[in-house]
Structure 1
Amino acid sequence: MTFATWWRRDSLPDLSPLPTFSARLSTDIEEIAQLTNRSPQVIAARLQAGNRPYLAFMGDTPVAYGWVATQEGSISDLQLFFAISPENCYLYSFLTVTEWRGRGIYPHLLQTIIRQEEQIQRFWIGYLPKNAASGRGIEKAGFHIVSDLVVSDNYVSGITLFELSEQAQASADFFRLPVVTEMP
């Protein structure tokens, strides 16, 4: 899994306007459950754990969503769980409804979250390398691609840095993983 970050000192690139786009934080469990195809119990548990869902709309139509974690994060498929240090957040579980993909909604949603989460200094997000569209949207929003998990047999053994920068090193610290210089 490849990781990217955006820090408060970074600039946000201008995006092509989406005249009817809006995004907001939501606490409406039924609305979130319907859009995410998750049970209200799963949504309630995420909210109780301190996670915050953002919903994106084109006009009045819900078209995308994503979550902000500020206390604990996980990549459950890899059994990776991590505490989130203050002033950091982990962005996860983003999805744009199929018929709305390819219109630039994802980068707009990411930038909305950055603008609304003013107390957060460092934002972290990951994507699977085979999901090139997600990677493009993350970069388009202004995030820097900095690292990749080292995984074998569904076990995370470390992280590989793509550059020698403060941000790349901080990714190893954020996930509390050793830096591995070669992929297995």
Structure 2
Amino acid sequence: MNPGEALPSAQEDGTTVLGASDVARALTRIAHEIVERAKGTDDVVLLGIPTRGVTLARRLATRLAQIDPTFDAAARTGELDVTMYRDDLHRQPTRSVGVTRLPDVGIEGRTVVLVDDVLYSGRTIRAALDALGDLGRPRAVRLACLVDRGHRELPIRPDFVGKNLPTATSERVRVRLAEVDDGDDAVVIAGRADDQGATR
């Protein structure tokens, strides 16, 4: 555990492994890594994957603008709905289609950073890549996620990670963000053997 990192705390519905300050630090670090990898922000755009990936993308855009004042956070941020590209629609055919909104500057020839909250099997990101391919031809596509919990089913790996979080497949990881959920930012794991009242 890094100095200053929040100690895991028990909650009614799981164990909090990242608190609000941890989430903030992780996003700041990811923003700096994006700038370093892209050698600036000139061609960088952010596409958030609903729901919480959109919020995270907006926060990252704000941080990129703080690093480079020429970065227009509003014009360089969008959201990418992947519903119709998922390979599990036959199992959940009632999924509602969301909104895709490209950044004002477009994605053609840009470095697109896909942003999601939790990376798990990789199937959501595969769907995002398929959706992106129908919208334009970026120069490069990168992936940023707040939490990588492992258990990949496809050869997909993130370029920028807030926290690598080893989990069991029976566990559930939930990201809470103030803009979307009640209360403070947090990453919570439910289903661990040491959770009070957890289902085993």
Shared fold per TM-score greater than 0.5 = no
More strand by share: 1
Scaled by the length of structure 2, the TM-score of the pair is: 0.33
Scaled by the length of structure 1, the TM-score of the pair is: 0.35
More helix by share: 1
